[in-house]
Amino acid sequence: MTRNDVSRATSVTAVRAARDGHMESWDLLVRSLGQDSPLAADTFTWNGPVDRGVILRQLEVVLGRVDLMIDPDATHLSEGHAIFRVHANREV
């Protein structure tokens, strides 16, 4: 994923795909408004409960060190599902 791709990102969706005891498997999709195909996709496994911090750390693993700002007012978190509205950090 290039820096230009990251600058087009508008949302990150994380959905729990499976749970086996404490182990959870999640699908992570980075999308751009108006595009059918995701800019980036990954599946990650985590031992223990997945929260916003875990998802954000995994996003950094998938995209590398990126400059995305999370809009805290447009974040949806529920059991097994999370949506983050994002935009490129133009200050860096």
* pTM tops 0.75: no
Q: How far is CA 67 from the centre of its chain?
A: 13
> Contact, 55 vs 42, CB < 8 A?
no
- Summarised one tens digit per residue, pLDDT across range 24-59 is 999 988 888 888 888 888 899 999 888 878 887 887
Q: What pLDDT does 92 receive?
A: 40
Secondary-structure percent of the chain, ordered helix, strand, coil, rounded to 5: 20, 50, 30
Q: Give the integer Cα–Cα distance in Å for 92 and 4.
A: 14
* Region 61-86 average pLDDT: 72
